[in-house]
Amino acid sequence: MKRRTFIQGLAALGVAGALPLPLSRAFAATTASPVSVDQLPRLEGKLTLYLGRGEGGLYENVLQAIQDKNPKLELGIRRGPTAALANTIVAEAKMGVQRADLFWAVDSGAIGLVTDAGLAHPLPDDLSAQLQPQFRYPGWAPVTGRVRTLPYNTERLSAEQIPTDIMDIAESDLSIGWAPAYASFQSFVTAMRLIEGDDKTAKWLKKVQKRAKSYAGELGVVMAVERGEVDIGFANHYYTLRLKSGKPDANLALAFTNDDAGCLVNASGILALSEDPLAVNFMRYLLSAEVQSYLAQEAYEIPLISGVSQPQGLPPLASISPPKVDLTQLADLRPTLDLMRASGVL
């Protein structure tokens, strides 16, 4: 779906499915029905949004569509790396300055930096009710999710040959692709530290490093797996789905571990830094059925409201068992970076 089509169809795009989107069978609690943009209040006035760099410009398409539907909205956007913008928001607050009304981050760790500083305003109950129960937080709204996966080369491996415990990867003889400098990987290591402890995580990193080949990013990891340079990789799910959408016969499939950091579900998210009701009403648009459907179809990200189909090519999420981790706990990366450096990974 191109930007022009999305903009023209924003008010009319149907919900892509009728079933709720649980991330496991335990997440089947009732949520509110998805809300169409036609049910939302018009946006009028000035807002400043700090935007962490989105996926492939698709977040920019969403923002443009919202502005096109709301011509009386004056939206100023400051763009930059998510972590840098989070640090800027905290620094500005310490100086008694508030330049942003909203912060849309591509990683929940950056959200945690801002919420831990006490800068996020509470969400109204009706907005939180749009989200899957396990993604309801008092100070921010997750927008879309992503699952940590093990992409593997189907000519070199079968699914049965891949460990279902992330810790067992370190004991296997598989060749591995990873991107240790990549933010999503570091969030994954942070989750492992929280679940397994620093000592076990450090030992895991050192063992994996002996058979791992490093890449600049996780798209590079997935491409290397497909070429057969390595057996498996560590990457967010959407890199594999995007590659396969352009190359359906790719020698590539997804495997998942169970109830550990290897299948962590992370999220992009947005929070209000201003008490202006306009800021919260803007957030409602990102949780609308139309925007959630668009990001699922085009970015292959996981919608976090009920009633919108998951990305094509992702197995039923009811079969995936992510660990129970408060995503805002991923904010403190310093111990993770220190551990990765001490282990020789960075």
Q: What is the pLDDT of residues 149-197, one digit of tens each?
A: 999 999 999 999 999 999 999 999 999 999 998 888 999 999 999 999 9
pLDDT above 50 (res 7): no
Between CA 184 and CA 109 the distance in angstroms is 10
pLDDT above 80 (res 37): yes
pLDDT of residue 109: 83
Q: Is 239 annotated as a binding residue?
A: yes
pLDDT of residue 175: 97
pLDDT of residue 332: 82
pTM of the model: 0.83
Q: What is the pLDDT of residues 193-248, one digit of tens each?
A: 999 999 999 999 999 999 999 999 999 999 999 999 999 999 999 999 999 999 99
**Distance from chain centroid for Cα 246:** 22
For residue 111, the surrounding DSSP H or E stretch is helix 108-116
> What would the mean pLDDT of 35-46 be, rounded to a whole number?
94
Between CA 150 and CA 154 the distance in angstroms is 12
**Percentage of the chain modeled with pLDDT above 70:** 90
pLDDT above 80 (res 318): no
pLDDT of residue 56: 63
pLDDT above 60 (res 24): no
Structural contact between residues 119 and 89, judged by C-beta atoms closer than 8 angstroms:
yes
pLDDT band, very low/low/confident/very high, at 32 (cuts 50, 70, 90):
low
C-alpha distances in Å from residue 304, one per residue of 27, 146, 218: 12, 10, 23
pLDDT above 70 (res 22): no
pLDDT of residue 16: 33
pLDDT above 90 (res 53): no
pLDDT of residue 184: 87
Q: Looking at the chain, how many residues does it have?
A: 346
pLDDT band, very low/low/confident/very high, at 58 (cuts 50, 70, 90):
confident
Q: Is 300 annotated as a binding residue?
A: no
**Cα angle for residues 42, 310, 323 (degrees, 5° grid):** 105
**Domains (range + CATH), the chain:** 3-145+266-321 (3.40.190.10), 147-263+333-342 (3.40.190.10)
Of 135, 211, 139, 145, give the one whose Cα is nearest residue 173. 211
Average pLDDT, the chain: 88
pLDDT of residue 30: 42
pLDDT band, very low/low/confident/very high, at 54 (cuts 50, 70, 90):
low
Structural contact between residues 331 and 116, judged by C-beta atoms closer than 8 angstroms:
yes
pLDDT above 60 (res 19): no
Between CA 205 and CA 226 the distance in angstroms is 23
Q: What is the pLDDT of residues 240-272, one digit of tens each?
A: 999 999 999 999 999 999 999 999 999 999 999
pLDDT above 80 (res 8): no
